[in-house]
A and B are shown apart, each in its own frame.
Chain A
Amino acid sequence: GAVVSQHPSWVICKSGTSVKIECRSLDFQATTMFWYRQFPKQSLMLMATSNEGSKATYEQGVEKDKFLINHASLTLSTLTVTSAHPEDSSFYICSAWNRYEQYFGPGTRLTVT
């Protein structure tokens, strides 16, 4: 099956710093990718739709200036958490459709101290 990778798999950063998470589709092209956030014992919450070559579409309540998304190529989307705070600590997952199946990255666990 298709593969989506994420890097890093986990990251610890200090409050106030920015963190970039990469999402790559390894064996297929993705004009659209999705970014989710998941808190412990909760479901996946869609944050934004990343569109290749254009601006991302953010879900209601998600701060676009805090969660910067760049989809520069057909295989790479990046999520940058700017000026991270402890409340941004979470599990971030990206995904992309390949035909009729949505493939998920392995996730990035962000801890902000």
Chain B
Amino acid sequence: AQKITQTQPGMFVQEKEAVTLDCTYDTSDPSYGLFWYKQPSSGEMIFLIYQGSYDQQNATEGRYSLNFQKARKSANLVISASQLGDSAMYFCAMREWGTDKLIFGTGTRLQVFP
């Protein structure tokens, strides 16, 4: 069965610094997709970044980058130049091919302080 693990319940980072949120996954499928979502206190789920299992390069989207290490089955999110507005819950998720379900990790609460 597919599984996503986020081992950091909470993280603190100072404004303008970079932070890495960890995510490891487990799957026996050769083809899979990995996602990161941000959920602020309002509850909306905001898509941040996507990495396909066959993508040769790490995905980047503005201040977000995904450190994809396939052999280690990790897909860590790196946020550069943190902003106060980055304070939120962050979820790592994997798409289950066939059912199209998204399997979520337990999330990491990031708090950015001045």
Residues of A within 8 A of B (CB): 1, 32, 34, 38, 42-44, 46, 49, 91, 93, 95, 97, 100-104, 106-107, 109
Contacts and interface: CB of A to CB of B under 8 A. Distances in A.
Interface of B: 33, 35, 37, 42-45, 47, 50, 91, 95, 99-107
Majority SS at the chain B contact face: strand
B25 to A, nearest CB: 14
A97 B100 contact: yes
A43 B104 contact: yes
A107 B102 contact: no
B102 A102 contact: yes
Contact of B106 (A32, A43, A109): A43
Nearest to B105: A43
B95 to A, nearest CB: 8
A42 B6 CA distance: 12
A49 B101 CA distance: 8
Contact of B101 (A34, A43, A109): A34
